[in-house]
């Protein structure tokens, strides 16, 4: 295998620790950073093969998102900016776990199975978060790419969604946007400024937003885009990475799970605040009321705000396009009920993990998808985008229709359709609040969340739990679902489910019920049933 000579040589510089087995999980590989060098090198190889196979640019992002600073991870990005396809997740796992001496034969197997023409050119783009380990790890990825004669471009420090965006731009010949960081800022900020022209009387106070950057890459990037926003948004940044540790007592995951504000944020009553996670693909909003109570506006509230806004605009425009919301089992029951019964939008539920939601959202004219944890975006079908563009220029359309179509056009441009993006979502939410002239409290009051609780349980082997119905029902072990059903029956407006985590060695428990006391009791009892 002469073509792999370089791989053999170089792989010796990226040895696999003995006995280490890793799996390409919900969002790629994730573990302590010092176990990942060989995985990075091998993902560089795999991305190069994927690029040859698809004849497109492939992305490799080095990040462990909301996990602690000492962890790291990697995920591959497919041609349209989406997560890599499942079959290749399988190759990733096999390749990462191959013994050093088998590496070339495993590569050969993948090439054979996928009938890859090795004479094709390959293009791989890389990016990384601010973890101290990320720089060396991304160098290992580039090493892998060069071993198979792939071309690479390193975007360096970028948010995960920025890299997804670059991949999509590069594979659509710039039709989606310019594949540079500057191009990304220009596209988003132009759309944002156009939208805020519809809210000309906003005061500086209304433009003010407190942002928790999780001490990560999002903080750096907010500083960069701010310049383009021409004071239409006045950001006060906390946890900007200058002193605190990444994701430590801050960030979207901390705020959502703990249901409390991040450390280091100076909140005044009624002030709108938001938190990004460590790679800026998730966002949650919150505020404190005058009695000092904390109110969280999570992915469900975001999906409701955005889908309501879009549905109203489509109605004004007279466009017959179906808006649907995609959620997971974690969506608060109140949100689902509001969307279905009051807003009359279709709601569908998928398994946890962005790839599942993204896929489901592609089925609709306008698919709004959000996980409760704040990860999400909106996808517009080609048909939807064309209809909006045609209407905006239609001489026979009424002024009201044209106005709605223009708003929709700018809204489409503000959204990162490659993947959920905290910066793009934040700008969209800010624009919607401004256009509708509502406060964060008005938004919060659209519906009231049912009290809910998440717990995690350590078990000997979490894989004994298998689920169905978008993870809402346990199929194994026998009797577990019956026990959960019996417990749920004891409470009002109650619901509970358990699922094995895709990112940690734990079982997750979720419960909701009419009061916090009830739901705490229910979650505790369900967690005992899991043992």
Residue for token pair 């466009």: 319
Please give the Cα distance from 327 to 335 (Å, whole number). Answer: 10
Minimum CB separation from ligand 16G for residue 250, in Å?
17
Counting Cβ atoms within 10 Å, is residue 461 exposed (0-12), middle (13-18) or buried (19+)?
exposed
Phi/psi at 324 (nearest 5 deg)? -130, 155
Q: Which does 279 bind (CB under 5 to 8 A by kind): ligand 16G, Zn ion, none?
A: Zn ion
Please give the Cα distance from 474 to 488 (Å, whole number). Answer: 14
Name 290's Cβ contacts closer than 8 Å, sequence gap at least 6.
Answer: 269, 270
Query: CA angle, 447 as apex, 333 and 509 as ends, to 5°?
Result: 30
**Token code pair at residue 257:** 């799970």
User: Is position 373 an interface residue for ligand 16G (rule: CB under 6 A)?
Assistant: yes
Contact flags string 37-66 toward ligand 16G, x per CB under 6 A: ----------------------------x-
- Closest listed residue to residue 370, CA positions, set 386, 362, 358: 358
- Binding residue for Zn ion (CB under 5 A) from 143, 212, 240, 281? 281
Minimum CB separation from ligand 16G for residue 237, in Å?
24
**Cis preceding linkage at 111, omega within 30:** no
User: Is position 69 an interface residue for Zn ion (rule: CB under 5 A)?
Assistant: no
Q: Would you say 30 and 119 are in contact if contact means Cβ atoms under 8 Å apart? A: no
Q: Would you say 254 and 245 are in contact if contact means Cβ atoms under 8 Å apart? A: no
Size of the site for ligand 16G (CB under 6 A): 14
Range 356-393 burial, b when 16+ CB lie within 10 A, else e: bbbbbbeebbbbbbbbbbbbbbbbbbeebbebbeebbe
User: Is position 84 an interface residue for ligand 16G (rule: CB under 6 A)?
Assistant: no
- Binding residue for Zn ion (CB under 5 A) from 143, 240, 279, 365? 279
Phi/psi at 68 (nearest 5 deg)? -60, 160
- Closest listed residue to residue 354, CA positions, set 321, 379, 333: 379
Candidates 161-169, 226-234, 277-285, 429-437 — which segment interacts with Zn ion by CB under 5 A? 277-285
Residue for token pair 């919900």: 26
User: Is position 371 an interface residue for Zn ion (rule: CB under 5 A)?
Assistant: no
Q: Which does 503 bind (CB under 5 to 8 A by kind): ligand 16G, Zn ion, none?
A: ligand 16G
Candidates 255-263, 336-344, 403-411, 503-511 — which segment interacts with ligand 16G by CB under 6 A? 503-511
Known binding residue 502? Answer is yes
Please give the Cα distance from 96 to 17 (Å, whole number). Answer: 11
Candidates 30-38, 278-286, 336-344, 395-403 — which segment interacts with Zn ion by CB under 5 A? 278-286
User: Is position 300 an interface residue for Zn ion (rule: CB under 5 A)?
Assistant: no
Known binding residue 501? Answer is yes
- Binding residue for ligand 16G (CB under 6 A) from 196, 275, 334, 352? 352
User: Is position 277 an interface residue for Zn ion (rule: CB under 5 A)?
Assistant: yes
User: Is position 501 an interface residue for ligand 16G (rule: CB under 6 A)?
Assistant: yes
Please give the Cα distance from 38 to 17 (Å, whole number). Answer: 8
Q: Would you say 368 and 378 are in contact if contact means Cβ atoms under 8 Å apart? A: yes
Minimum CB separation from ligand 16G for residue 373, in Å?
5
Minimum CB separation from ligand 16G for residue 48, in Å?
22
- Binding residue for ligand 16G (CB under 6 A) from 11, 54, 503, 518? 503
Q: Which does 120 bind (CB under 5 to 8 A by kind): Zn ion, ligand 16G, none?
A: none
- Binding residue for Zn ion (CB under 5 A) from 11, 51, 57, 65? 65
User: Is position 26 an interface residue for ligand 16G (rule: CB under 6 A)?
Assistant: yes
Catalytic residue among 51, 65, 134, 152: 65
Is 146 annotated in the active site? Answer: no
Q: Which does 277 bind (CB under 5 to 8 A by kind): ligand 16G, Zn ion, none?
A: Zn ion
Per CB under 5 A, residues contacting Zn ion are 65, 277, 279, 281
Residues marked active site are found at 65
Residues annotated as binding site for substrate?
371-373, 499-503, 508
Residues annotated as binding site for Mg(2+)?
65, 277, 279, 281
């Amino acid at each position: 295998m002469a073509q792999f000579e370089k791989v053999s040589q170089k792989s010796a510089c990226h040895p696999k620790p003995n006995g280490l087995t890793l799996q390409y999980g919900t969002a790629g590989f994730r573990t302590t950073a010092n176990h990942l060098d060989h995985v990075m090198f091998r993902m560089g190889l795999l991305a190069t093969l994927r690029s040859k196979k698809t004849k497109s640019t492939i992305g490799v992002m080095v990040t462990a998102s909301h996990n602690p600073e000492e962890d790291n991870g990697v995920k591959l990005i497919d041609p349209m900016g989406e997560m890599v396809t499942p079959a290749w997740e399988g190759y990733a796992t096999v390749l990462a776990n191959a013994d050093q001496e088998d590496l070339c034969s495993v590569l050969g197997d993948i090439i054979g199975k996928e009938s890859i023409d090795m004479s094709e050119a390959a293009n791989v783009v890389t990016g990384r978060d601010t973890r101290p380990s990320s720089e060396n790890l991304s160098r290992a990825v580039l090493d892998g790419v060069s071993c198979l004669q792939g071309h690479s471009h390193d975007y360096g420090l970028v948010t995960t969604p920025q890299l997804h965006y670059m991949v999509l731009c590069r594979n659509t010949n710039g039709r989606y946007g310019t594949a540079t960081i500057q191009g990304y800022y220009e596209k988003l900020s132009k759309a944002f400024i156009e939208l805020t022209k519809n809210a000309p009387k906003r005061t500086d106070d209304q433009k003010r937003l407190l942002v928790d950057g999780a001490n990560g890459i999002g903080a750096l990037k907010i500083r960069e885009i701010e310049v383009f926003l021409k004071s239409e948004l006045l950001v006060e940044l906390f946890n900007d990475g200058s002193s605190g540790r990444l994701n430590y007592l801050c960030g979207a995951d901390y705020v959502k799970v703990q249901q409390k504000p991040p450390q280091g944020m100076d909140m005044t009553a009624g002030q709108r605040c938001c938190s990004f996670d460590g790679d800026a693909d998730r966002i949650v909003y919150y505020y404190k009321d005058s009695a000092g109570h904390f109110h969280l506006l999570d992915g469900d509230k975001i999906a409701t705000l955005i889908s309501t806004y879009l549905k109203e605009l489509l109605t004004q425009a007279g466009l017959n396009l179906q808006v649907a919301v995609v959620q997971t089992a974690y969506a608060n029951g109140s949100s689902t009920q509001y969307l279905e019964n009051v807003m009359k939008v279709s709601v569908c539920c998928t398994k946890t993990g962005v790839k599942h939601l993204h896929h489901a959202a592609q089925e609709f004219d306008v698919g709004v998808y959000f996980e409760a944890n704040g990860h999400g975006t909106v996808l517009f079908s080609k048909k939807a985008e064309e209809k909006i563009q045609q209407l905006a220029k239609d001489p026979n359309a009424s002024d009201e229709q044209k106005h709605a179509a223009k708003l929709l056009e700018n809204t489409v441009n503000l959204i990162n359709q490659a993947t959920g993006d905290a910066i793009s979502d934040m700008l969209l939410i800010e624009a919607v609040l401004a256009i509708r002239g509502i406060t964060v409290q008005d938004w919060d009051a659209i519906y009231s969340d049912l009290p809910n609780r998440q717990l995690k349980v350590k078990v000997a082997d979490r894989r004994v739990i298998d689920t169905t119905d978008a993870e809402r029902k346990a199929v194994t072990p026998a009797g577990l679902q019956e026990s959960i059903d019996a417990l749920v029956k004891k409470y009002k407006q109650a619901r509970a489910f358990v699922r094995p985590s895709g990112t940690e060695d734990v079982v997750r428990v979720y419960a909701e019920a009419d009061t916090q006391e009830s739901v705490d009791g229910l979650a505790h009892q369900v967690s005992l049933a899991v043992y």
